[in-house]
Structure 1
Amino acid sequence: MKLRTKYILFVVIVHLLTLALTFYIFNQNRVFFIISEVFVIISVVISIQLYRQLVSPIKMLLQGIEAIKDQDFNVKFLPTGKYEVDELINVYNHMIDELRNERIRQEEQHFFLEKLIYTSPTGIIILDHDNRIHQLNPKAIQILNVADKKLIGHELSKIQHPLLEQAADLKTGETITVKIDSINTYKLQKSHFIDRGFQRGFLMIEELTAEILAAEKNTYGKVIRMMAHEVNNTIGPVNSILQSALKTDTLWQTQTDNQLSNALQVAFDRNQNLNHFMRNFADLVKLPPANKKQTDLNLLVKAVLELMQIKARAKNVELLFQPAAKPFIISADVHQLEQALINIVKNAIEAIEDKNGGLVQFIINVKTGELFITDNGKGISEEESTQLFSPFFSTKKDGQGIGLTLVREILLNHGFSFSLKTIADKTVFTINMK
């Protein structure tokens, strides 16, 4: 039973009893009867006023409770002039102000966090309570290169992606570095937050490729410059002495078999080869910014094929290229990109060990802006694939390990993405020129 009902019921019973007593008094003394009736009327009036004073605050409280239920923190009450009621109203109004301010703070923090996650240069994947993907930011979608609709609602361990497969085994607080191919390196870190009293995980994917490549280039650049300085300082004077000796005829008058002069000539030639060897390394360090111009990729590939025809015929390798129907215009530094393609074709030819010959094929996909260079050589193992573009790494016995590194630097210089993989017994070098 409501308090209001109890109060009304109590007042009615009391006044009914009072009226009954007044009728009894009427038979005894009419003056007392009139006084009793006046008292009853005054009591009724006072009861009504007390009802209004007591019940109206309760009504206001009920309205305030309904507003709080509806999360409407803009409902406030004006003072009534009654001390007790005004104290209650002040407490309520203060509580509403605090709730409203707290909600504003929470909303501001929420929107700030959402914007921070959305614009973060780090890929962020938020998981639900069942370790399923709940939300991804744009950077995570870009890194994974998979539509978010194909990821949301799925468990990490059940998604076929090299990064997510590694992340599925991570425990909260753990960090690992993953190299998914010969170029791209990522740092995976798993952490958690509390959502409504329950723990939820999230995964951060940070791309380290640019930092690692820059540090790597800085390191091997210092080594190469030091080597070049020492070699040049030695080769220059030695070659000068050898040339002077070879040109002095009086030194060889007593020599009938020319063994000494021949030995000096061999030493001179070897020094020249060493000098050329060091220049190859120096070219890698001194690579200038790409001087991009509009050029037709069809013509560039044809020029590279003409240059490499003699080497290909020597190994009985066929170079095949079907140009695009229309000019395929790209923005590139012709000299740098030509050198990169020459190195790629050279490696492809040398990878073909079949004495019956092989095939190196160029394919241009106009729609995607990709150039594919395929060969049917010996292929690339999984161990080799992660190190192919590393400086000084080579699969050849006499390789210097700078050919693919130079290719990498040139393509990165152009902003082109690329990959080198063996697929179905064919090695494919893919360059995305868009």
Structure 2
Amino acid sequence: MRLRSLEGRLTVLLAAASLSGALVYVGVTHYPLPQLLGWMHDSLGISIAFPNRSDAVIICAAILVPLSWWFAHIVMEPVKRLLRALEGAVASYRDGDFSISIALHRRDELGDLIRVHNELGQTLREQRQNLAQRELLLDTVVQNTPVALVLTDGNGRVAYANIAARHLFNEGRSLNGLHFATLIADAPEALQKATEGSEDALFSVEMDGSEETFHLSQRAFRLQGRPHRLQLYRRMTRELSRQEVAAWKRVIRVVSHELNNSLAPISSLAHSGAELARRGDIQRLPGVFATIGERARHLHGFIDGYARFAKLPAPRHAVVEWRPFLDGLALHCRFQLVGAMPAQAGWFDLAQIEQVLINLVKNAHESGSAPEGVSLALTQVGHELRIEVGDRGPGMSEAVLAQALLPFYSTKRSGTGLGLALAREISEAHGGRIALANREDGGLRVTMVLPQPTNPG
């Protein structure tokens, strides 16, 4: 037990109080009070009756009660001062003021509490300073970003808007507190429809005599327990223009490469055919013409593939029974059906999905997979149809996986880069999606997910 601890100090004070009580009782009953009364009687003639036991108790109480109060004051005064200081500090913390420190120096448990409290205040001050710096940095970034940011509360009023949003919607004036729906009441219809929806959207509006394309990203969440909605309006015209130019450049490179690969042999063979005809060597002419026809057919197929990709019609949904569909698919490509067929009939464009699966199964065979390793699985998951085509080839690297679905991207020398892009285009036209992933036990898995109605047809 430490002497300077509260427990040690209280023990010393209790011992002192006990000793004081004993000394007072002895002084009243034995010495010196009885001797003092006797001296006063003998010397001064003052007769005072010797106190009995009850009087002695009263005299002891009269002396010990103030003494006890003084001891209690000694014990409790530091605690009371500390509690008052802690009360003021907590009130300051509640008001967001962390600058309060307690200037009491003790070497007991109260001193340890004061030290920990002051360390807490220092930590809170540092954290608040760091938080203020981060908030300042975040506000600077948000305010100066070219993306227009609008935060609305549950009533649709603007709680926060950056500089880009103020210029986009209110000619540079503040938007805080304004009702956002009223603010855009006179805005173009495309912007209003995109804002009224709950999904991300891409829309174009007429601005300053030209068409401007925006991408709207919006999310709903709760802030301090209240519903809020964050909307981000990003100008996409310049980016889309760059992407469009880049896409056209890729198209031109691919088309030019393919045309050169076909027209150069055709030109050479035509020259050879003319030379053979001039010499009268007509026996070799049929072979020359056959090769020219083969290259022409290849070129026609190449151009036709691009035309079909560019003129993909909207899907015509219909009820598709699985057994006839799979039997027809098996006439065009070989695959192993994994698992049972869904109990519910499919709902999609039969011709388009069949073409996608033919291309996917063909790619699986061309990956180097064994024929029996090419599989097809059909699974109904809730209101979605999951179609998976797998193989046991080498799979794809991360770089190839990231670009495989882009138009005109191909790792094959003779590939056009349209097979997987066409599959993606068809799946998204159905309202679905397509994804590629390497299988854990080797090979590639292509997963196409198509939404399905509750009752097809």
TM-score, normalised to structure 1, is: 0.43
TM-score, normalised to structure 2, is: 0.41
